[in-house]
């Protein structure tokens, strides 16, 4: 029998709470990273996500002691605890590979898959070892330690970024969202991606129906070639982006023409695909949205949404509805929809 390491129980408790906090921050910023598309906020979210993940590494020496001490007593939960450890390690390693720009695009799917698998195991693991809050949790000493951990995590993240730059890793040129460039100004080289279970529809597209209240207009794709242009990045949560010159008609302009400027001040607009895939956006954003029929001067390909797709600058790719068949002005607020598409 090995002698028990003579550590105060508190040390293990603080390590575990710190790990739980970092994992919670990593999970929250991971979900948030899918939602943000504008460079400023995206940079912050992605940096905090990276630092939280790397911060886990700083706690490995302490966690090793905690695990060694508990291993003998935890026969019943060893299997799930070990699996949790493996999944967390896999999440961190695949995240680092993604950041380095290696093994794309599969490595980001591994990262997200392993992270999602971690959640139920972590909840069970932490619940089985739940702790009452203590007054010392907010002591000066604890706060200083938390600050030191945060500073260490930030330093590790900064060092990682510097190494990528010096090494000239493919990931050094990432966008603020973390995505890598693929197919800018060359739509044929841009990946064709669906969100979840959707697929490229076959058969010819019909007309486009635009609805506001009782009024209905029916258009063909040719009606949308108005020469409105925008240069914008399509940035997929799968980890790539491409900047294109998109052309078609601005949504505010089209709606004003069709409905003689008689539009509600608030409300939203539902953009629905031929496949049933849909997103709801605030009507006040219509001036920044484009119904695009071409990219880089060429008509859209079938995979990229022909004959017409939504271009939503500053929003992640899942907002850029392809194969648009119906546009409807509705009173409901834009957030009354699932936060991510369901198909």
Ligand X SMILES: Nc1nc2c(c(=O)[nH]1)N[C@H]1C(S)=C(S)[C@@H](COP(=O)(O)O)O[C@H]1N2
- Where does this chain bind ligand X (CB under 6 A)? 190-195, 198, 234, 236, 273, 275, 277, 303-305, 317-318, 320-323
Which among Mo ion, ligand X, none contacts residue 112 (Cβ within 5 to 8 A by kind)?
A: none
Nearer to Mo ion, 236 or 269 (CB): 236
CA 257 to chain centre: 35
Closest residue (Cβ) to ligand X? 317
Nearer to ligand X, 49 or 304 (CB): 304
Q: In this structure, what is the dihedral angle of CA atoms 113, 38, 279, 191, given to the nearest 10 degrees?
A: -60
Distance separating alpha carbons of residues 306 and 300, to the nearest angstrom: 5
The answer to whether 236 contacts Mo ion (rule: CB under 5 A) is yes
List, in sequence order, the alpha helices (H) in the chain: 9-35, 39-58, 60-71, 78-100, 106-128, 140-167, 251-258
How many CB atoms sit inside 10 A of residue 140's CB?
8
Enter the tokens of residue 135. Answer: 């007054």
Tell me how far, at minimum, the Cβ of 261 lies from Mo ion, in Å: 34
Q: Given CA atoms 280, 282, 286, 289 in this order, what sign does their dihedral have? A: negative
Tell me how far, at minimum, the Cβ of 194 lies from Mo ion, in Å: 8
Tell me how far, at minimum, the Cβ of 195 lies from ligand X, in Å: 4
Which among Mo ion, ligand X, none contacts residue 209 (Cβ within 5 to 8 A by kind)?
A: none
The answer to whether 122 contacts Mo ion (rule: CB under 5 A) is no
CA distances from 280 to 199, 313, 314, 334 (A): 20, 15, 15, 5
Nearer to Mo ion, 4 or 199 (CB): 199
Tell me how far, at minimum, the Cβ of 55 lies from ligand X, in Å: 30
The answer to whether 317 contacts Mo ion (rule: CB under 5 A) is yes
Tell me how far, at minimum, the Cβ of 305 lies from ligand X, in Å: 6
The answer to whether 19 contacts Mo ion (rule: CB under 5 A) is no
Decide if 244 contacts 288 (C-beta within 8 A): no
Nearer to Mo ion, 122 or 281 (CB): 281
Tell me how far, at minimum, the Cβ of 204 lies from ligand X, in Å: 16
Enter the tokens of residue 138. Answer: 């907010």
Nearer to ligand X, 157 or 318 (CB): 318
Enter the tokens of residue 323. Answer: 């194969």
Residue whose C-alpha is closest to residue 34's, from 183, 198, 190, 178: 178
**Span interacting with Mo ion, options 75-83, 93-101, 190-198, 327-335, rule CB under 5 A:** 190-198
The answer to whether 95 contacts Mo ion (rule: CB under 5 A) is no
Tell me how far, at minimum, the Cβ of 170 lies from Mo ion, in Å: 20
Decide if 230 contacts 223 (C-beta within 8 A): no
Footprint on this chain of Mo ion (rule: CB under 5 A): 193, 236-237, 317
């Amino acid at each position: 029998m090995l002698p028990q390491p003579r550590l105060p129980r508190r040390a293990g408790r603080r390590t575990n709470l710190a790990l739980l906090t970092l994992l919670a921050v990593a999970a929250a910023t991971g979900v948030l990273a899918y939602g943000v598309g504008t460079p400023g906020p995206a940079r912050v979210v992605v940096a905090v996500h990276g630092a939280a993940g790397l911060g886990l590494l700083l706690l490995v020496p302490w966690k090793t002691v905690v695990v060694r001490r508990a291993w003998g007593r935890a026969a019943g939960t060893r299997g799930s605890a070990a699996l949790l450890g493996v999944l967390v390690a896999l999440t961190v390693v695949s995240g680092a590979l993604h950041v380095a720009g290696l093994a794309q695009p599969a490595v980001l799917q591994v990262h997200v898959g392993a992270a999602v698998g971690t959640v139920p195991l972590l909840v069970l693991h932490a619940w089985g070892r739940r702790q009452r809050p203590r007054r010392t949790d907010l002591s000066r000493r604890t706060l200083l330690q938390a600050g030191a951990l945060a500073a260490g995590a930030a330093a590790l993240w900064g060092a990682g970024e510097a190494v990528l730059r010096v090494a000239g890793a493919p990931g050094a040129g990432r966008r603020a969202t973390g995505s890598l460039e693929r197919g800018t100004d060359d739509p044929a080289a841009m990946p064709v991606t669906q969100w979840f279970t959707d697929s490229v529809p076959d058969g010819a597209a019909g007309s486009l129906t635009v609805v506001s209240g009782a009024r209905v207009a029916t258009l063909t794709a040719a009606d949308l070639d108005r020469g409105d242009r925008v240069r914008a990045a399509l940035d997929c949560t799968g980890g790539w982006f491409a900047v294109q010159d998109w052309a078609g008609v601005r949504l505010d302009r089209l709606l004003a023409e069709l409905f003689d400027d008689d539009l509600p001040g608030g409300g939203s607009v539902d953009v629905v695909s031929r496949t049933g895939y849909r997103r709801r956006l605030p009507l006040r954003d219509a001036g920044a949205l484009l119904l695009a029929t071409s990219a880089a001067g060429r008509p859209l390909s079938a995979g990229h949404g022909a004959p017409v797709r939504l271009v939503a600058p500053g929003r992640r790719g899942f907002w850029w509805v392809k194969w648009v068949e119906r546009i409807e002005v509705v009173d409901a607020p834009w957030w009354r929809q699932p936060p991510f598409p369901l198909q």
